[in-house]
A and B are shown apart, each in its own frame.
Chain A
Amino acid sequence: MRFTLTIGLTSFALCAFGQAPTQATNYGPPATSYVMEAAKYPDAAKKPTPHTADGHPDLNGVWHHYFGNLIAPVGDKSFTLDFRKSFGGANAPRATPDPEPQYKPEYLAKVKMLSENQVKEDGTLHCRPPGVPRIGPPQQIVMTPKQAVFLYADITGNQWRVIPLDGHSHSTDPDADFTADGDSVGHWEGDTLVVDVTRLGDDTWLADNGLFHSLKLHVTERLRRVGDTIQYQMTAEDPKVLAQPWTITRTLTLQFDTLGEAPACVDNDAGHYVNSEHHDNGR
């Protein structure tokens, strides 16, 4: 296993010029969790696409859960962590690796420094919100004709975004805060809901491994319902620190249970780390 780790780190250390010399990006909830949900409902995309009364595709629903069932019963009363069983062994579906964000060369050292000090520098490890785009695709969507509400039962706690669809423009108030989830406005382009996000604070990251961004970050999310799936695309543009836009795609699969409330996040770890050994985050 250590051999596997060495190979992985070496391959990323040899990545192309302009690319952050980090481990593989771990954007949003684990990519594999979406693939596994899709595998449980293989004909989801072939179902009819429902529409709301105003004629738009109906995006209402629960669309993702973090992993469950990672602890398996043994005999009558015992339980054990059993990843092999939970993931279906060697034949388990695996996600395709995401592209890495391409940083301008002068920012690679900062990414490396942040990544090497992730246990201290990554706010999500200390219960701070991941923010957009790191929060990932919506886990539940509530639609009204004038608003979309994105809900997330995140490991950092419950997060939500209210996205106006009634022609609102971005705030022009020069004193408006830059925040973790920013200023979102949405509109329909045909059957695709497009969400435009600005005013994103720079104390959150694009993903783990020190992938920081500047206040110039602009995120565009595109959601298109296909049957009982949503094709989700996120593009992050940061002309200050990124050499080019960074795009991630996910297929979300309709879930037939409730989202459930995330237990509160309590940072019990701060102050107990004795070194900076990397702490990846399943987000």
Chain B
Amino acid sequence: MKTKEYVLAAALLLSGLPLVAHHAVSAEFDDKKIVTLKGVISKVDWVNPHIFVYFDAKDENGKVTTWRLQSVPPMFFKGSGLTREKLSDGSDATVTVYPAKDGTEGFGFLVKLTYADGHFYNLGGGAAGPGPGAAPAK
């Protein structure tokens, strides 16, 4: 399920009504493209209306580029057990990203983080694989 659709499902549930997307990801990010990066999270900005994850991506030549990745609202995390500290633990990770449509380099929407031991934080609702996070059909 694409993020555009998951946010629509979120809006349906949040309101109990057929609304359009809670967050029009597609007005800002290209959900037709997936960029895969390897590196570490260097910082998490725990701010409304969406948290921002800073990801130091390292290419094959060892060059490091810091990506600024938008994610979901901080309220989504309340009571879940996934904390800011867990997000910023500094371990090597692979991240999948929707890049910015306006061409801003190093700016994107965080879809999924996967760590070397296999554990993951899927904040994109299944775009990186259907998994149990896929939103219901309505």
List residues of chain A with CB under 8 Å of any chain B CB.
1-2, 4-5, 7-9, 11, 23-24, 26, 30-33, 35, 65-85, 87, 89-90, 92, 94-97, 119, 125, 127, 155-157, 260, 262-266, 268-269, 271-282
Interface centre among A80, A81, A85 (most CB of B within 10 A): A81
8 Å CB interface, B59-118 against A: 68, 70, 72-82, 100-102, 104, 107, 117
Q: Which residues of B contact A80 (CB under 8 A)?
A: 120-123, 125-126, 131-133
A4 to B16, CA, bound (A): 13
8 Å CB interface, B27-52 against A: 27-28, 45-50, 52
Residue from the list B23, B119, B123 in contact with A71, Cβ < 8 A? B123
Q: Which residues of B contact A82 (CB under 8 A)?
A: 132-133
Nearest chain A CB to B40 CB, angstrom units: 17
Q: Is the interface of B mostly helix, strand, loop or mixed?
A: loop
Q: Which residues of B contact A156 (CB under 8 A)?
A: 48-49
Q: Which residues of A contact B23 (CB under 8 A)?
A: 279
Tally A-B pairs: CB < 8 A: 209
Q: Report the nearest B residue to A278, measured CB to CB.
A: B20
Given contacts A74-B132, A75-B119, contact A119 B27 (CB under 8 A): yes
Contact A280 B79 (CB under 8 A): no
Interface size of B by CB at 8 A reads 64
Residue from the list A81, A97, A263 in contact with B46, Cβ < 8 A? A263
Residue from the list B9, B11, B27 in contact with A275, Cβ < 8 A? B27
Given contacts A262-B48, A263-B48, A265-B47, contact A97 B26 (CB under 8 A): no
Contact A81 B49 (CB under 8 A): no
Contact B80 A79 (CB under 8 A): yes
Q: Report the nearest B residue to A74, measured CB to CB.
A: B132
Given contacts A8-B19, A157-B48, contact A81 B122 (CB under 8 A): yes
Instruction: List 22 interface pairs A-B (beta carbons < 8 Å), by A numbering.
Output: A1-B8, A1-B9, A8-B17, A32-B14, A70-B76, A74-B131, A77-B117, A77-B119, A78-B119, A80-B132, A81-B72, A81-B76, A94-B16, A119-B24, A155-B49, A157-B48, A265-B49, A266-B47, A269-B28, A279-B22, A279-B27, A282-B11
Nearest chain A CB to B100 CB, angstrom units: 6
Contact B82 A83 (CB under 8 A): no
A53 to B51, CA, bound (A): 44
Nearest chain B CB to A196 CB, angstrom units: 29
Q: Which residues of B contact A1 (CB under 8 A)?
A: 5, 8-9, 137-138
